[in-house]
Amino acid sequence: MNMKKWLAIALACSAIALSGCGNSGGTQQASQPADANASGASAPGGEKVLRVATNAEFAPFESKNPDDSLSGFDIDLINAMAKEAGYRVEFKDQSWDSLFNSLRNGDADVVVAAVTITPERQQSMLFTDPYFEITQVVAVPEGKQVASVEDLKNLNRVGVVTGNTGDLAASKLLGATNPKVTRFESLPLLLKELQNGGVDAAVSDSSVVMEFIKHNGDKGFTMIKVPDFEAEHYGIALRQDDTELRDTLNKALAAIKASGEYDRIHQQYFGTAAAK
């Protein structure tokens, strides 16, 4: 065997060896569950895993703690439901605009992120029974009043979170291309801009705005209910063919309501038991 031929064989063997190492020195991807179907995902040993996509920027429903753990009403609720149904939960905290793609692609089994049930969303996904009622409200700084849609139209900048129901509501009332509607990537960014005077008002979910005002009570912010905004409901979103998992979660939701666990969680975050 001549030297050139020997080197060629050695290089080929090295390439084969390296190809079995994956991304050496790079980021290793976690292995996917063996089976993702209507019953959630199956982990090794047969343990049932519920992969939950969320966006931890919507207190008090979901937020991130200093140690990177998640907390909030939605987090405790899905943990309680999963325990009732015999699942272990794996959370995936990600941006709001990636949540539904994650669901469609099979990277998550459900989306739990204060998702409002709307006719448009029901065309592309399933929802569990509603678990929380809210309405869109307007948060304004001291000195500003909004009592009607006309008042809202007279403001220079109305802030919303892109893709949230507040965005849909403001777009419906003011026009989707109205330059007065100013969109932000997350609720913290929107509320920070409201605090800094960058927007005249912020449209978002009632419970979220109440939480913001509670922690900024000395700054003169006011929550105003506009009659044009109708009551809405949150639901857990699933893929359209996951009827079995939806039914399982609905049974779990009914069970924790009957046991009083739902009221306990509601009391913890909102100071009262849920309205009957």
User: Are 70 and 126 part of one and the same domain?
Assistant: yes
Q: What digits encode the pLDDT tens for the residues 216-270?
A: 877 889 998 887 788 999 999 999 999 999 999 999 999 999 999 999 999 999 9
Residue 42, pLDDT score: 56
Residue 95 maps to a domain: yes
Give per-residue burial for 235-271: e unless 16+ CB within 10 Å, then b. Answer: bbbbbeebeebbebbbebbeebeeeebbeebbeebee
User: Are 118 and 176 part of one and the same domain?
Assistant: no
Q: What digits encode the pLDDT tens for the residues 101-157?
A: 999 999 999 999 999 999 999 999 999 999 999 999 999 998 888 888 888 889 999
CA 237 to the chain's CA centroid? 10
* Helix 243-259 × helix 73-85 angle, to 10°: 100
Residue 45, pLDDT score: 60
User: Are 148 and 225 part of one and the same domain?
Assistant: yes
Residue 35 maps to a domain: no
Residue 75 maps to a domain: yes
Tokens standing for residue 33: 């569950």
User: Are 146 and 225 part of one and the same domain?
Assistant: yes
Q: Is 139 exposed, middle or buried (0-12, 13-18, 19+ CB in 10 A)?
A: buried
CB contact at 8 A, 219 and 142: yes
Find the domain containing 85 and state its range: 48-131+235-270
Residue 14, pLDDT score: 40
Residue 97 maps to a domain: yes
Banded pLDDT at 16 (limits 50, 70, 90): very low
User: Are 86 and 215 part of one and the same domain?
Assistant: no
Confirm whether pTM is higher than 0.95: no
Residue 115 maps to a domain: yes
Domain tally, the chain: 2
